[in-house]
């Protein structure tokens, strides 16, 4: 029996549900080709940062300078990325070259926080041939006078601006820090997002006790971190038909299977391929196929969402956030 791994994401027909998410390996043609060879169904290029566009001539190295508080989102990633693109022109070239070199869909990525002229770059990424655009919004509100409504409206204005600029499918990559994620998702969809990518993973600062400097630390993710997107994919899938991509903590076939059961259309990997190389993708796909065979599924489509909150035998389990049960079961183990 032949099993179909096919899935649909942002209206794109993908041969399987494993996508290489934005990161160093998707920023170079040679590694992009290796990701495709290993079986990735699509790739998301690293983000073009708003700051790269608005401050002409700015060195990307500056953006990664963790001392510089003005560039919070750029600080979230690897500080030394010599091979990373260094401005809009280089970025657009990467999109064009990726399209020429790959047969799988290429998703461009914009990272920004303000609604301004820079969002026209979304159109340029489209013109360069991208099959879809991911808008990565990382905004860390720290002003005590800024309300959650103001922050959320800023997201929506941004999405609306980018939506107006491009006609390719648009995914919005968000973090988990909203008071009401489901409501935010609803409004992002009604503002024109075709899909959500949950959740972005931010680097948190650390204090070096020798130098007394504040430093960002890049720690690659582990499978434990999967459970935050897992919960929210299961909940969001119960309310929304739009595309859902899961990012953070995807490292093995089991991770992918759980997210698909919860209702993800695709699962994404960055840390996993950074740690193990692009070959991880083919290993995961073998494991996924084997599991589907064992459980007698004929396709990924058939299993997708079969354990979303609504379809789960215990829907309340996805909402349980307090410790009582967990503590009880934990105590009985150590007793």
Q: How far apart are CA 305 and CA 169, in angstroms?
A: 22
Q: How far apart are CA 91 and CA 109, in angstroms?
A: 10
Q: Does 46 bind ligand FMN (CB under 6 A)?
A: yes
Q: Which of 242, 243, 247, 308 binds ligand FMN (CB under 6 A)?
A: 247
Q: Which residues pair with 328 in a beta bridge?
A: none
Contact at 8 Å (CB) between 256 and 250?
A: yes
C-beta closer to ligand FMN: residue 14 or 74: 74
Q: Smallest distance from the beta carbon of 95 to ligand FMN, in angstroms? A: 14
213-216 and 205-208 beta bridge pairing: antiparallel
Q: Which residues pair with 268 in a beta bridge?
A: 19
Structure tokens at 105: 């869909």
Stretch that binds ligand FMN, among 117-125, 161-169, 204-212, 270-278 (CB under 6 A): 270-278
Chain residues 296-325 in contact with ligand FMN, contact rule CB under 6 A: none
C-beta closer to ligand FMN: residue 90 or 311: 90
Q: Smallest distance from the beta carbon of 213 to ligand FMN, in angstroms? A: 21
DSSP alpha helix (H) spans, 19-76: 29-38, 50-54, 60-63, 72-75
- What are the C-alpha distances in Å from 291 to residues 253, 262, 309? 8, 16, 22
Q: Which of 113, 242, 270, 308 binds ligand FMN (CB under 6 A)?
A: 270
Pattern 70-99, ligand FMN, x by CB under 6 A: -------xx---------------------
Stretch that binds ligand FMN, among 62-70, 183-191, 265-273, 315-323 (CB under 6 A): 265-273
Place of tokens 């630390």: 217
Q: Which of 34, 173, 237, 258 binds ligand FMN (CB under 6 A)?
A: 173
Dihedral sign, Cα of residue 176, residue 180, residue 186, residue 189: negative
Which parts of this chain interact with ligand FMN (CB under 6 A)?
21-24, 46-47, 77-78, 109, 111, 136, 173, 200-201, 221, 247-250, 269-272
């Amino acid at each position: 029996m032949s099993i179909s791994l096919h899935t649909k994401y942002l209206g794109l027909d993908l041969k399987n549900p494993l996508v290489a998410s934005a990161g160093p390996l998707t920023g170079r043609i040679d590694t992009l080709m290796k990701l495709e060879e290993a079986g990735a169904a699509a790739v998301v290029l690293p983000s073009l940062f708003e700051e790269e566009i608005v401050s002409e001539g700015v060195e990307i190295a500056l953006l990664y300078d963790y001392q510089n508080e003005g560039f919070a989102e750029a600080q979230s990633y690897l500080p030394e990325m010599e091979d990373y693109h260094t401005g809009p022109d280089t970025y657009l070239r990467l999109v064009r070259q990726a399209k020429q070199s790959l047969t799988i869909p290429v998703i461009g990525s914009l990272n920004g926080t303000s609604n301004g002229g820079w969002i026209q770059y979304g159109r340029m990424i489209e013109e360069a041939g991208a099959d879809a655009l991911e808008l990565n919004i990382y905004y860390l509100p720290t002003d005590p006078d800024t309300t959650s409504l103001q922050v959320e409206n800023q997201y929506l204005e941004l999405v609306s601006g980018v939506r107006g600029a491009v006609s390719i499918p648009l995914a919005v990559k968000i973090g988990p820090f909203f008071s009401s994620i489901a409501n935010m998702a609803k409004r992002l969809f009604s503002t024109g997002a075709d899909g959500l990518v949950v959740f972005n993973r931010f680097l948190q600062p650390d204090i070096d006790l020798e130098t007394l400097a504040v430093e960002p630390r890049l720690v690659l993710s582990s499978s434990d971190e999967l459970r935050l997107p897992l919960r929210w994919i299961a909940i969001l899938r119960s309310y929304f038909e739009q595309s859902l991509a899961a990012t953070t903590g995807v490292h093995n076939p089991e991770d992918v299977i759980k997210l698909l059961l919860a209702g993800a259309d695709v699962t994404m990997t960055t840390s996993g391929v950074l740690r193990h190389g692009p070959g991880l993708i083919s290993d995961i796909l073998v494991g996924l196929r084997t599991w589907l065979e064992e459980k007698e599924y004929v396709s990924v489509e058939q299993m997708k969402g079969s354990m979303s909150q609504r379809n789960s035998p215990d829907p309340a389990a996805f909402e349980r956030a307090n410790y009582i049960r967990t503590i009880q079961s934990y105590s009985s183990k150590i007793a």
